[in-house]
Amino acid sequence: MKVFVKFNFNAICNKVLEDKLIELGIKYKIVGFGEIEFLENLTDQHKQTLHTLLNNHGIEVVENEKIILVQKIKDAIIDIIFNSEDALNIKTSVYLAEKLGHSYGYLSNLFSEVTYTSIENFIILQKIEYAKQLILTTNFSLTEIAFKLNYSSVAHLSTQFKNTTGITPSAFQRIISKRKEIAQQS
């Protein structure tokens, strides 16, 4: 038997962080996604143990200011795409500049310098990931998915989907349907 699940990465990460910080007996406050404020000074031993425990779960403590800002850009983009109903209708450049307190030009250059790709490419990748998740977990039509992700048309979504994954969303839907069909027969 197979079961398909939907993930809320934000909730999963926060749960892992909470569990590990409680396990270490550290007083903290989660300020935002991926940002923790410690309410007490940490010993070097606490820092090292925290790094190790979090690394075991694929969570890395970031200390470089540029990398921290790039992570905030990624988190803001992921949040706007995966968790906001109407935020996709606002201009991403304006949203990021206002949210992070830097000009979009600076954010864009920094993002490219650190990640070797553009903010626009990262947005496309995240939108396609969300489209795949919607295909897997809902009965939305491609028209509904295109609308939800603020694409001008299904053709635009299909082009970006194929450029990113190598197959069309329709082909992806057929593959998923076939897998579900085979799984039900087993």
Separation CA 186–CA 183 (nearest Å): 5
Which residues have a Cβ under 8 Å from the Cβ of 73 and sit 6 or more positions away? 96, 100, 107, 110, 111, 119
- How confident is the model over 71-98, as pLDDT tens digits? 999 989 988 888 776 555 678 899 999 9
Q: Find the helix or strand (DSSP H, E) in which 137 lies.
A: helix 119-137
Is pLDDT above 60 for 134? yes
Domain count, the chain: 3
Residues 133, 174: one domain? yes
CB of 30 closer than 8 Å to CB of 18: yes
* Domain end (from 35, 61, 87): 61
The pTM is what? 0.69
Task: Kindly state whether residue 3 falls inside one of the protein's structural domains.
Answer: no
Amino acid at 147: F
CB of 96 closer than 8 Å to CB of 128: no
Which residues have a Cβ under 8 Å from the Cβ of 20 and sit 6 or more positions away? 50, 53, 54, 57
- How confident is the model over 10-47, as pLDDT tens digits? 778 878 888 888 888 888 887 766 678 888 887 888 88
Amino acid at 79: D
Range(s) of the domain holding residue 16: 8-61
Residues 110, 129: one domain? no
| Residue 19, both tokens | 């569990």
Task: Kindly state whether residue 29 falls inside one of the protein's structural domains.
Answer: yes
